[in-house]
Amino acid sequence: MPQNRPPVTLLTDFDDFYVSAMRGAVSSVTDAPVHDIFHRVPPQDVRAGAFILRNVAPYYPDGTVHCVVVDPGVGTERRSLVVEAGDQFLVGPDNGVLVPVARELAGKDEPRYYDAPYDEPESHTFHGRDVFAPQAGRVAEEGIGAIAGERVEPVTLNIDAPNFDATDDGYVAHADVVYIDRFGNSVTNLSGEDVLRVTEYGATLEVDGHTLPFERTYASVAEGEPLALIGSHGNLELAAREARGADALDLSAGDEVVVSVEVSKDTKEN
Amino acid sequence: MPQNRPPVTLLTDFDDFYVSAMRGAVSSVTDAPVHDIFHRVPPQDVRAGAFILRNVAPYYPDGTVHCVVVDPGVGTERRSLVVEAGDQFLVGPDNGVLVPVARELAGKDEPRYYDAPYDEPESHTFHGRDVFAPQAGRVAEEGIGAIAGERVEPVTLNIDAPNFDATDDGYVAHADVVYIDRFGNSVTNLSGEDVLRVTEYGATLEVDGHTLPFERTYASVAEGEPLALIGSHGNLELAAREARGADALDLSAGDEVVVSVEVSKDTKEN
Amino acid sequence: MPQNRPPVTLLTDFDDFYVSAMRGAVSSVTDAPVHDIFHRVPPQDVRAGAFILRNVAPYYPDGTVHCVVVDPGVGTERRSLVVEAGDQFLVGPDNGVLVPVARELAGKDEPRYYDAPYDEPESHTFHGRDVFAPQAGRVAEEGIGAIAGERVEPVTLNIDAPNFDATDDGYVAHADVVYIDRFGNSVTNLSGEDVLRVTEYGATLEVDGHTLPFERTYASVAEGEPLALIGSHGNLELAAREARGADALDLSAGDEVVVSVEVSKDTKEN
């Protein structure tokens, strides 16, 4: 099953016809197929963009070039970066949005970040079309050398919550809601692995005063009931079966949530 | 005009970035182009998903592989199916969603349904990415034999209204609204052919107490006026010219509607 | 970087699953990749459709075939057109929607418009699927000769505002809002070049009683503040930094706006 033409993907917060000019700009320099990752990233939400790409990029084939435009700094002096991470490539602004996915794809290796110099384009407001899309197309067609300048240190970004802290009767973590999906599932930045280190399926979690069953699947609770589970993205998710967990728990994107786990031997003290 | 690379298509109720992980998973096993059918199927509405795919699949070329994920049973024991229907292929959960399109594509033949066994994947909540998309990609790349197990009987699903019944002064049918589109057109599950068997263009229909002209095109009535017509999907549609028929007629998806036709010789009794 | 397979693109006001039948119809006649331009053109807004395609088509490679379906006249006698413009091709209804992009692509040459005759299809309401998509696919696969009939004069459409008029103390132009994007930016039909002929960056514009700074980028004003700038589309845009300019200025699509520029020597008269 040879992959002769890995795709160029696009991830933006444009959610409008502007994206199609990027598709055209890519297809003007390469026959590689153009895939949409997502274009409804909340406007200028660099952390949500970083979270989304880190989640989906690992499912793409070697050689894929991901072009990311969540770019509050458009029109300023911020750099364009091209990154080699694992066997995939990333192109986008130097604002941290590429860092979490680069680390994920590189695994035990270090991702390599390069400056990708460009001439100030015709538009001061649409570097997606005039800078990043053509750069991504050239990487797909000619390789990273076509646009990579000197190796640089990127603006960094950490999107993950710190681990749980031990308390008198269990553990507590301070997490954020990084994304609320169309089902109203509230995705936190707390790694599911971290949660499983301090508790197990079938236990309950305290989340901002709500007591939630921690289950494997939505189907484990009655219709409309809230629950906590590890979503397909690998993070703790606060949801409700066939209902909007964000509404049931009164959560918005960006909210901090305090997640507590009691350790069973201490529950009598409650 | 040889079709060397018929597409793999995706139809889901995800309407979020999750879909892009499925695009990646497909393109990790095949160079076939990935097409979106639609991702805004009302959540877990198996019947709407079945209706949509039956409508659009006939316009796809031989060899197309349609991957459908409208799957309220995710995380339970329900099977994955792969189906050979006419010269196209279908992959998805065994909940009936593939049955109407399979019958449509197979025509006079019987569609062939096979179990498509899978190992329980890393995520209990995202079989679209971890089970169905890779399976669809393999069918495109290697043929149905790559994933087909034993031949099985599927969970069945009928999405069509029963035919009209004769009444004292005409005909009556009990139909459902299967889908309301973005224009507010209310698509029923009543076949346009059935309607044309009992009446003709230019006549009027009684629909839930509203008297609607039955016309060939929207342009046959004044702006804002409601009408009944046979939509491009071949079913009876309750619409309004340049307005939302669903609002004008107070209809929601899933509503039952009673459609009556008077036979002209009896109209004097009215 | 040879472009062996320039894409077939789709631009419609369907915003629903219907579009996928067009993707299937195209891929049934050609292996050319299918790209989406945009499907959320405001319903039947021929001018917005024309504006959008004129903006993005120049970024597509030679040989691209753009298929446009914004078609209030579906079901009537209006023609289908195929157009040769520059090195790209256009297919769609003869209602003016293809004219601005054709002129843009043709540059100093004249675009060539041909009748593209068709047999009345199975559906009276979905020429996108039954007429235009198959025609576009055939142009991609066989060339324009496959569907072009006699050369014709198209229904014409001008989407641009007239130039500024001189007044006692400066210049005034009467423009329209042709599109409001998802960020609430109000795109006018006033060419940025025209604005730069009568004023310069850093000046202020009077727009419907609001005094707006005319700047190069959003970042030039404080968060929430309105401004005027030349958008990536090349037209004057009324916006606000990280806020909805359309709301701040109370603008809707289709609104006329009066844009005035004072010439500095006269400002004392104010």
Domain count of the fold of chain A: 2
- pLDDT tens-digit readout, C139-180: 999 999 999 999 999 999 999 999 999 999 999 999 999 999
CB-CB contact of B52 with B80 (8 Å): no
Is A220 an interface residue toward C (CB < 8 Å)?
Answer: no
In this complex, do B37 and C29 lie within 8 Å of one another by their Cβ atoms? no
Q: Per the structure block, which two tokens stand in for C38?
A: 């945009």
Nearest to A152 by CA among A176, A189, A122, A116: A116
Q: How far apart are CA B111 and CA B101, in angstroms?
A: 10
Helix, coil or strand: residue A217: coil
In a shared domain, residues B211 and B256: yes
pLDDT at B255 over 50: yes
- Predicted confidence band of residue C270 (pLDDT cuts 50, 70, 90): very low
Mutate to test the interface with A, among C56, C65, C193 (most CBs of A within 10 A): C56
In a shared domain, residues B32 and B66: yes
List Cα–Cα distances, A106 to A84, B21, B216, in angstroms: 8, 18, 59
Give residue A216's Cα distance to chain centre.
Answer: 22
pLDDT at C2 over 50: no
A252-268: average pLDDT: 81
- What is the overall mean pLDDT for chain C? 93
- Return the residue of A nearest to C38 by Cα: A17
Q: How far apart are CA C152 and CA A93, in angstroms?
A: 47
A113: domain CATH number is 3.40.50.10790
Burial class (CB in 10 A: 0-12, 13-18, 19+), B149: middle
B179-201: average pLDDT: 94
Q: Is residue B116 part of a domain?
A: yes
What does the H/E/C string look like for A144-164?
HHHCCCCECCCCCCCCCCCCC
Q: Is residue B154 part of a domain?
A: no
Is B33 an interface residue toward A (CB < 8 Å)?
Answer: yes
Is A216 an interface residue toward B (CB < 8 Å)?
Answer: yes
pLDDT at B70 over 50: yes
In a shared domain, residues C176 and C135: no
Nearest to C28 by CA among B35, B252, A72, B103: B35
Q: Per the structure block, which two tokens stand in for A1?
A: 């099953």
Q: What share of chain C is helix, strand, coil (3-state, %, to 5)?
A: 25, 30, 45
In a shared domain, residues C57 and C140: yes
Q: Using CB atoms, which residue from A35, A182, A229 is nearest to B15?
A: A182
Count of other CB atoms within 10 angstroms of residue B253:
16
State pTM to two decimals: 0.94
In this complex, do C34 and B37 lie within 8 Å of one another by their Cβ atoms? no
Is C57 an interface residue toward A (CB < 8 Å)?
Answer: yes
pLDDT at A264 over 50: yes
Is C156 an interface residue toward A (CB < 8 Å)?
Answer: no
Instruction: Enumerate the residues of chain C whose CB falls inside 8 A of the CB of residue B64.
Output: 24, 27
- Predicted confidence band of residue B265 (pLDDT cuts 50, 70, 90): low
Nearest to A265 by CA among A199, A165, A170: A170
- Return the residue of C nearest to B36 by Cα: C20
DSSP string of B100-124, one letter each residue? HHHHHHHTTSPPEEEE------S-S
Mutate to test the interface with B, among C12, C15, C125, C131 (most CBs of B within 10 A): C125
A251-265: average pLDDT: 89
pLDDT at A179 over 50: yes
Give residue C243's Cα distance to chain centre.
Answer: 24
Q: Is residue A27 part of a domain?
A: yes
Domain that holds residue A172: 165-269
Q: How far apart are CA C50 and CA C68, in angstroms?
A: 9
CB-CB contact of A138 with A104 (8 Å): no
C116-126: average pLDDT: 85
Q: How far apart are CA C255 and CA B100, in angstroms?
A: 47
Instruction: Enumerate the residues of chain C whose CB falls inside 8 A of the CB of residue A71.
Output: none
Determine the residue type at A219: A
In a shared domain, residues A105 and A76: yes
Residues 189-208 of C with CB under 8 A from A: none
Beta bridge partners of B237: B187, B229
- What pLDDT shows up at residue A265? 59
In a shared domain, residues C29 and C137: yes
- pLDDT tens-digit readout, A195-249: 999 999 999 999 998 999 999 888 889 999 999 999 889 999 999 988 888 998 9
In a shared domain, residues A175 and A141: no
Mutate to test the interface with A, among C31, C47, C232 (most CBs of A within 10 A): C232
ipTM beyond cut 0.90: yes
In this complex, do B124 and A217 lie within 8 Å of one another by their Cβ atoms? yes
Note the residue count of chain B.
270
Q: Is residue A216 part of a domain?
A: yes
- What is the overall mean pLDDT for chain A? 93
Smallest CA–CA distance, residue B39 to chain C, in Å, is 8
Own/partner pairs for C247-251, CB < 8 Å, 24+ apart? C247/C184, C249/C186, C249/C207, C249/C208, C249/C210, C251/C177, C251/C180, C251/C186
In this complex, do B27 and A3 lie within 8 Å of one another by their Cβ atoms? yes
- What pLDDT shows up at residue A73? 83
Q: Is residue B3 part of a domain?
A: no
In this complex, do A59 and B15 lie within 8 Å of one another by their Cβ atoms? no
DSSP string of B218-264, one letter each residue? GGGS-TT-EEEEE-TTSEEEEEETTB-HHHHTT--TT-EEEEEEE-G
- What pLDDT shows up at residue B1? 42
B48-52: average pLDDT: 97
Contact partners for chain B, using 3 or more CB pairs closer than 8 A, are: A, C
Instruction: Enumerate the residues of chain A whose CB falls inside 8 A of the CB of residue B27.
Output: 3, 6-7, 33, 35, 60-61, 64
Q: How far apart are CA C226 and CA C106, in angstroms?
A: 36
- Predicted confidence band of residue A76 (pLDDT cuts 50, 70, 90): confident
CB-CB contact of B242 with C44 (8 Å): yes
Contacts of A42 (CB under 8 A, 6+ apart): A13, A48, A253
Instruction: Enumerate the residues of chain C whose CB falls inside 8 A of the CB of residue A124.
Output: 216-217
DSSP string of C33-101, one letter each residue? -EEEEES-PPTT-HHHHHHHHHHHGGGSPTT-EEEEE--TTTTSSPPEEEEEETTEEEEEESSSTTHHH
- Predicted confidence band of residue C239 (pLDDT cuts 50, 70, 90): very high
Nearest to B41 by CA among B70, B71, B21: B70
Is B242 an interface residue toward C (CB < 8 Å)?
Answer: yes
Mutate to test the interface with B, among C14, C17, C22 (most CBs of B within 10 A): C17
Token pair 């949409």: residue:
A36
- Return the residue of B nearest to A185 by Cα: B16
pLDDT at A85 over 90: yes
In a shared domain, residues C24 and C133: yes
C197: domain CATH number is 2.40.30.90
Is B67 an interface residue toward C (CB < 8 Å)?
Answer: no
Is C5 an interface residue toward A (CB < 8 Å)?
Answer: yes
Smallest CA–CA distance, residue B82 to chain C, in Å, is 20
B8-35: average pLDDT: 97
- What pLDDT shows up at residue C76? 78
- Predicted confidence band of residue A2 (pLDDT cuts 50, 70, 90): very low
Smallest CA–CA distance, residue C103 to chain A, in Å, is 18
In a shared domain, residues A177 and A88: no
Is C121 an interface residue toward B (CB < 8 Å)?
Answer: no
pLDDT at B182 over 90: no
In this complex, do B18 and A217 lie within 8 Å of one another by their Cβ atoms? no
Smallest CA–CA distance, residue C207 to chain B, in Å, is 32
Instruction: Enumerate the residues of chain A whose CB falls inside 8 A of the CB of residue C5.
Output: 31
Q: Is residue A180 part of a domain?
A: yes
- What pLDDT shows up at residue B180? 94
- pLDDT tens-digit readout, A131-159: 999 999 999 999 999 999 999 999 999 99
- What pLDDT shows up at residue A135? 98
Q: Using CB atoms, which residue from B20, B29, B124 is nearest to A56?
A: B20
Q: Is residue B257 part of a domain?
A: yes
Domain termination residue (choose one: B91, B118, B146)? B146
Highest mean pLDDT of the ranges A54-68, B218-232, C74-88: A54-68
Determine the residue type at B62: D
Q: Using CB atoms, which residue from C1, C56, C229 is nearest to A21?
A: C56
Q: Using CB atoms, which residue from B60, B216, B232 is nearest to C27?
A: B60
In a shared domain, residues C231 and C134: no
- What pLDDT shows up at residue C265? 59
Q: Is residue B75 part of a domain?
A: yes
Q: Per the structure block, which two tokens stand in for C159?
A: 């989407």
In a shared domain, residues B32 and B101: yes
Instruction: Enumerate the residues of chain C whose CB falls inside 8 A of the CB of residue B5.
Output: 31
In a shared domain, residues B258 and B227: yes
Helix, coil or strand: residue C185: coil
- What is the overall mean pLDDT for chain B? 93
